[in-house]
Amino acid sequence: MDRKAKYQLGIKRKVLVVDDEYVNRQMLGYIISQQYDVLYAENGRDALEKIRATRTELSLVLLDIMMPEMDGFELMQIMKGDDDLKSIPVIVLTSEETAEVKSLKLGAADFIMKPYNRPEVILARVGRIVELSEGRNLIQDTERDSLTGLYNQNYFYKYARELDHFFADWEMDAVVIDVDHFHLVNALYGRPFGNEVLKRIADTLRSILSDIMDGYACRYEADMFFLYCTHLDDYEVVRSKIMDELDSLADGRKIRVRFGVYSDVDRSLSVEERFDRAKLASAQIRNNYVKAISYYDGNTHKEALFAERLIHDVHSAIDNKDLVVFYQPKYGILGEEPVLRSAEALIRWNHPELGMINPGKFVPLFEQNGLIQLLDHYVWEEAAKQVRRWKDENGVTVPVSVNVSRMDIYDPRLEARLLDILDRNNLEPSDYMLEITESAYADDSDQLIEVVERLRGKGFKVEMDDFGSGYSSLNMLTMLPIDVLKLDMQFVKNVHTDEKSLKLIQLIMDIAEFMNVTVIAEGVENEEQYKLLKQAGCDIIQGFYFSKPVSAEEFVEFFK
């Protein structure tokens, strides 16, 4: 039983008496043995072994200074530098008053002067130090997170308010530090590894607060930390220190930390409101693999309210069919004339009050909070029904590609759900192509490859979407199971003005031909781009050159 439990239950505490003189050890042990369980050590080295062996049970060390092998000063120095031992109180046994200053600097809690001629004073001193120490440990256990040793949120807010009171002229920042997809870190690498990630972040924050700035840190919840500190112009130095520490731990595993900063806080707001603003800033860059630090500004609050409105309205939008699936044609261009080959299903939101909402406003938002699966499932259903309708009403088969998000990849029912949709609409996997964004391959390639291979085994064609947007490298193509490579629109927009862009596209075409992979260029807007891509050997193009995304009814015109 540890000393905290003994304190709470009133059981005898364990005390170690360290003295090289046998008579002194026995005399002191006799005095305190009626109230304490007594251990003995005859020198500092022997004492250190016993302290380490009983560190969770030991309530006090009574320590002589002058001893052979290892003296009391050396032992206290070791204990002071050891996180597991420094909380154990030490009372120094000495006949030299000059030893007091050095002992205090090394952490001594009190002194007992030799010879031991007043047993009642010795017991009183021992009892007082034990109770003070254990009371302090109980308070620390209450105010600190057990895993990281940082403050919990209640005490953190309390100390932040005290800091405001005593240093009213300081410029302060509220900072939120969040580990992206921490649940996946635990799932992929195990909870002990995840715990070590959190402890490394906490240790780095303690070091930063000691070296760079003043303030407090806390572990707010599972994978989120708060930092209330003196103003810093650029938090990249803090993020870099954390990432360096995590990189040394990760050994190739992908761990990403993002920052939300409310800089130079408005002190008229409560501490809680300040950190709400920092959380809003952090949420803005969730799943943003380019930007790792976001700062709160006046627009952030408006955007947060808008986002909350969209989250609130999405269910009614599905029920009322305010969410509409549009289709953009894809044309094969290798022959004499372009030929309609397929279409991409694209979501649009015609909100009854806010009007037409750009997908760039709500798709990233729903990717952040998990609602993207709701959208994906809706699009899958609507697109399958439309393919069936075109077959029945127009006698035309137009395969449609639908988006499969990161969240879908980790859904154990993904394969069964897709096959059920095909079965209910009497479709084949060849009627239904799956687009998976390039960043998902870089995020966790092993699991994604396993899922994609199963889907391809069922007959689905898989497209890597947004290739060239910055997440992967060309040699990744040799490892990934894909049927179609879609070049990102940013990748091709300069093909007619930049010779390097054209050369790179030609290189990708060569690699794709070697791998027997179809290449689609999206975002093609003019005839010059079209001709250059055709000359480079691009199989299919998609973009405003042929058509913007249109409704299902308008799409019928392309059949003619």
What is the chain's length?
560
How many of the other CB atoms lie within 10 Å of CB of 351? 16
Q: Quote the pLDDT of residue 556.
A: 93
Q: Quote the pLDDT of residue 532.
A: 87
Asked whether 379 and 341 are in contact (CB, 8 A), the reply is no
Checking DSSP bridges between strand 518-522 and strand 13-18, what pairing results, if any? unpaired
Checking DSSP bridges between strand 432-437 and strand 462-467, what pairing results, if any? parallel
Q: What is the C-alpha separation between 345 and 383, in angstroms, rounded? A: 7
Q: What is the C-alpha separation between 493 and 523, in angstroms, rounded? A: 7
What would the DSSP string read from start to end of 23-75? HHHHHHHHHHTTTEEEEEESSHHHHHHHHHHTTTTEEEEEEESS-SSS-HHHH
Three-class DSSP category at 488? coil
Minimal CA–CA distance to 344: which of 553, 533, 528, 555? 555
How many of the other CB atoms lie within 10 Å of CB of 347? 20
Q: What is the C-alpha separation between 317 and 349, in angstroms, rounded? A: 8
The 3-class secondary structure across 112-139, one letter per residue, is EECCCCCHHHHHHHHHHHHHHHHHHHHH
* Nearby residues of 336 by Cβ (< 8 Å), 6 or more positions away: none
Residue 370 structure tokens: 């998990």
Q: What is the C-alpha separation between 431 and 387, in angstroms, rounded? A: 8
145 to each of 21, 218, 494, how far by Cα in Å?
A: 43, 8, 53
Q: Quote the pLDDT of residue 9.
A: 46
Q: Quote the pLDDT of residue 444.
A: 57
Asked whether 378 and 323 are in contact (CB, 8 A), the reply is yes
Q: Quote the pLDDT of residue 135.
A: 62
Q: Quote the pLDDT of residue 491.
A: 72
Q: Quote the pLDDT of residue 8.
A: 45
Instruction: Give per-10-residue mean pLDDT for the chain (560 aa).
Output: 48 85 87 88 91 84 87 88 82 76 78 78 82 63 77 86 88 93 81 90 90 88 91 92 88 84 93 92 78 84 81 92 95 91 95 91 84 94 96 93 89 93 96 83 71 92 77 61 83 74 82 87 90 89 94 91
Give the domains, in start order, of the chain with CATH numbers.
3-143 (3.40.50.2300), 153-296 (3.30.70.270), 314-559 (3.20.20.450)
- Residue 555: its H or E element: helix 552-555
Asked whether 265 and 246 are in contact (CB, 8 A), the reply is no
Spell 140-162 as b/e; 16+ CB within 10 A means b.
eeebbbeebebbbbebbbebbee
Beta bridge partners of 346: 326
Three-class DSSP category at 93? strand
- Residue 388: its H or E element: helix 372-394
| Cα four-point dihedral sign 122, 125, 128, 133 | negative
The side-by-side arrangement of strands in the sheet containing 293-295 is 215-221, 224-230, 172-179, 257-262, 293-295
